[in-house]
Amino acid sequence: ILLTPVGNGPETVHQPADENLPLCATVELQSFTPGKESWEMSASEKLEWVKTHKERGGVRFRSGDVWGASDSYSRALKLLIPLCGCLETKRDELQIREEGETQQLPSPDKLKVIKAELHSNLSLCQLKLNQPERARASAAKATQLEPGTCKAWYRLGQACQILNELEEAKQAFKKLLQLQPDLPAAVKALKEITSKERERNAQLGHRLSKMFS
C-alpha cells in the first residue's frame, strides 16, 4: 500500500522522511457482498462473466501482469466448459427465458471458438511463466478445438521445443506453415530444430562409437 499521503480528518499519515523506512498500514474490511457461485448462475450470466474474465485477462497481460492474466483466463474457462457441455446436450434449446426476457446464446460452434481462444491465451501466459508442460497442454486443446488457429500451433511448437520434444515441435511448426506459408517465425524455429537434431545425432553417434571402439 502506498500512502502519498492519505488521511482521514486529523489522522493524516505522511510518508517517512527516510524513503527507505517501511511504512505499515492496517486495512479493515467493513463489508463484503459475495458473488454468485457458478452453479447459481444462469447460462447468460455465465457467458457475461466469461467475456468479462477474458477481457480482464487481456488488460492484465498487456499491463505485464501475466499471473493475473493467467488467473482470468482460467476463471473464464471454468465457467465456459460447463456452459459448452450444456449447449452440446441441448442444441435445440438455445432460447432461454430470464426475468421476462428471451436471450439468445451463441451457438456451440461460437462457444468452441471462444474456448479455443482462451486455451491459446492461457498457453501464452504459461510460456511466459516458464510452465512449458501446461503451455503444451493448453495449446494442444486449442488446436483440437480450432485446427486453423495459427497462434495456438505456434505456442504448441514453442512449448514442445522447450521440452526438447523436437519431433512434436517440428510437426506443430509444419502445420503452422501449412496455414501461413513462409511465416518467418515458423521457418526460423524449424531451422533451429533441424540444427538441434543434428547436434543430438552427432552426440549420440559419438557415444556409440566410444561404446563399440
Condensed to tens digits (0 to 9), the pLDDT of residues 61-103 reads: 999 999 999 999 999 999 998 777 666 555 545 444 444 333 5
pLDDT of residue 18: 64
DSSP 14: -
Domain boundaries, the chain: 42-212
Q: Give 52-65 pLDDT, tens digit per residue.
A: 999 999 999 999 99
Question: What topology is assigned to 42-212 in CATH?
Answer: 1.25.40
Q: Give 141-189 pLDDT, tens digit per residue.
A: 999 999 999 999 999 999 999 999 999 999 999 999 999 998 999 999 9
| Length, in residues, of the chain | 213
User: What residues have CB less than 8 Å from 136, skipping those under 6 apart?
Assistant: 123, 156, 159, 160, 163, 165
pTM above 0.85, yes or no: no
112 vs 85: CA distance, rounded Å: 10
